[in-house]
Amino acid sequence: MDTYSPLYLYIHTSHEKERGTSNTMALRLGLLFVFSLLLATSFAFADDEVNTTEDLLIRQVVGDDHLLNADHHFSIFKRRFGKSYATKEEHDYRFSVFNANLRRAKRLQKLDPSAVHGVTQFSDLTPAEFRRNFLGLKRKLKIPKDANQAPILPTSDLPEDFDWRDHGAVTPVKNQGSCGSCWSFSTTGALEGANYLATGKLVSLSEQQLVDCDHECDPEEAGACDSGCNGGLMNSAFEYTLKAGGLMREEDYVYTGTDGGTCKFDKTKIAAKVANFSVVSLNEDQIAANLVKNGPLAVAINAVFMQTYVGGVSCPYICSKRLDHGVLLVGYGSAGYSPIRMKEKPYWIIKNSWGENWGENGFYKICRGRNICGVDSMVSTVAAVTTSH
């Protein structure tokens, strides 16, 4: 099913070249890779978008043939993101990881020319550390067979462009910190939007309630239970919220980003209730129609292009569809920036939970049209109870 992920591995883990790649695949890969290099070299960044010192750094990083001045880049990185390291050893190790990530950003840039890849607050983390601490969608995902399916909606009158941020249904970008709780942010984001549609009030809801109290299990998968900073699933979290009675406000149950706290859910302080939730089919028009009708949607994605993402529309030639991150789909555009000017790329607008300093003020854009990075694969919609107080 996921024919592209072996190709992807082949590119990015050179010491694993032989594993899982047939000759045909290697040939296809070679062609794709050459193609992407050709495209990447004919591409110049828009100058008007990169005019600050830091942005020049990013440009330099992804544009140079040699990674000159890595020291200088690293000190700007430390200053910009307030990084300090306890020991000289730690500092030197992080510098080597930073260097490896500069090279990785260059490789990802070639595969993803309509986005900008470079230095982010995650540039001193190895990909494994990044996955462990900043993602958190439980693996081995399947949509439960008994899950409600969202009814098929008409799609003929959909707006060309749509963004729930323009309609007051999206709270400010939050930050999950170093905790694999992305799934709880995707869940609150969807219910915040649904609750806004049901009550007319935008109320920020508590992720920590889900982290501490939600241990709901996926009925299809033994051991796949929501487990705080160690991951979870949005569908299970909607189930928990339905059974528990609802979610408290953010300010009444504050996010700490840590595990192991006792559950402090107070039923008298419920701010939003789930009426029902369902799974949206793997059809982009249905996803758009559900988004417009029901509010922001909880979606899963493969986050491999997100560690180095700085901006633009991410539309990699190759991306695994293995889902590892839960995010919130808040809108779409019909014509994104297209580097090669062959065609305009329609895209999804995604709210992430890594703070406003990541991506485009905390948001990510990814192209529509071919289930890139699995973005169409697991989409849930939730409805809130209208009489919530």
Ligand X SMILES: *[C@@H]1O[C@H](CO)[C@@H](O)[C@H](O)[C@H]1NC(C)=O
Beta carbons within 10 angstroms of residue 39's beta carbon: 17
Structure tokens at 251: 């300010």
CA distances from 218 to 147, 215, 238, 243, 379 (A): 11, 10, 11, 14, 16
Convert residues 54-93 into a mask of x (bound to ligand X by CB under 6 A) and - (unbound): ----------------------------------------
Spatial separation of the C-alpha atoms in residues 57 and 94, rounded to whole Å: 18
CA 281 to CA 262: how far, in whole Å? 37
Report residue 178 CA to chain centroid gap: 15
Q: Got the DSSP string for 233-297?
A: -HHHHHHHHHHH--EEBGGGS-----S-PPP---GGGEEE-EEEEEEEPS-HHHHHHHHHHH-SE
Please state the closest distance from residue 270 (CB atom) to ligand X, in A: 16
Phi and psi at residue 73, to the nearest 5°? -60, -40
Q: What is d(CA 368, CA 335) in angstroms, rounded to the nearest whole number?
A: 10
- Catalytic site residue 182? yes
Tell me: does residue 137 bind ligand X (CB under 6 A): no
Contact status: 153 vs ligand X (CB under 6 A) = no
Q: Which of 101, 290, 302, 352 is catalytic?
A: 352
Piece of 2-10, 17-25, 270-278, 323-331 that binds ligand X (CB under 6 A): 270-278
Asked if residues 319 and 12 have their Cβ atoms less than 8 Å apart, the reply is: no
* 325-336/379-384 β-pairing: unpaired
Per-residue x/- track, 277-306, ligand X (CB under 6 A): -x----------------------------
Classify residue 148 by its DSSP letter.
P
Judged by beta carbon, residue 18 or residue 146, the one nearer ligand X is: 146
Which is catalytic among the residues 73, 117, 179, 182?
182
Q: At residue 158, what is the residue type?
A: L
Of 32-40, 90-98, 99-107, 275-283, the window that binds ligand X (rule: CB under 6 A) is 275-283
Region from 243-251, 272-280, 313-321, 342-350 binding ligand X, contact rule CB under 6 A: 272-280
Q: Is the Cβ of residue 217 or residue 275 nearer to ligand X in the bound state?
A: 275
- In the complex, least distance from residue 383 CB atom to ligand X, rounded to whole angstroms: 4
User: Which neighbouring-strand residues pair with 332?
Assistant: 162, 348
For residue 380, the minimal CB distance to ligand X (Å) is 12
230: tokens are 């160690």
Shortest Cβ 152–ligand X spacing (Å): 12
- When asked if residue 383 is in the footprint of ligand X (CB under 6 A), the reply is yes
Q: Does 387 bind ligand X (CB under 6 A)?
A: no
Q: Does 275 bind ligand X (CB under 6 A)?
A: yes
Q: Are 218 and 233 a contacting pair, CB within 8 Å? A: yes
Beta bridge partners of 351: 328, 363
Taking the least distance from each CB to ligand X, the nearer of 39 and 279 is: 279
Count of residues that interact with ligand X, criterion CB under 6 A: 6
Q: Is 325 assigned a catalytic role?
A: yes
In which residue are the tokens 């550390």 written? 129
For residue 276, state whether it binds ligand X (rule: CB under 6 A). yes
Tell the burial category of 6 from Cβ atoms under 10 Å away from its Cβ (0-12, 13-18, 19+).
middle
Whole-angstrom distance, CA of residue 117 vs CA of residue 104: 9
Judged by CB under 6 A, the stretch of 25-33, 152-160, 271-279, 296-304 that binds ligand X is 271-279
Specify the stretch interacting with ligand X by CB under 6 A; choose among 34-42, 273-281, 318-326, 330-338.
Answer: 273-281
Q: Give least dist CB 352 to ligand X, A.
A: 21
User: In this structure, what DSSP letter does residue 232 have?
Assistant: B
CB nearer to ligand X: pick between 125 and 291:
291
Nearer to ligand X, 14 or 51 (CB): 51
Catalytic residue among 213, 229, 235, 325: 325
Q: How far is the CB of 274 from ligand X (least distance, A)?
A: 9
If one asks whether residue 51 binds ligand X (CB under 6 A), the answer comes out as yes
Q: Which residues bind ligand X (CB under 6 A)?
A: 49, 51, 275-276, 278, 383
Catalytic residues: 182, 325, 352
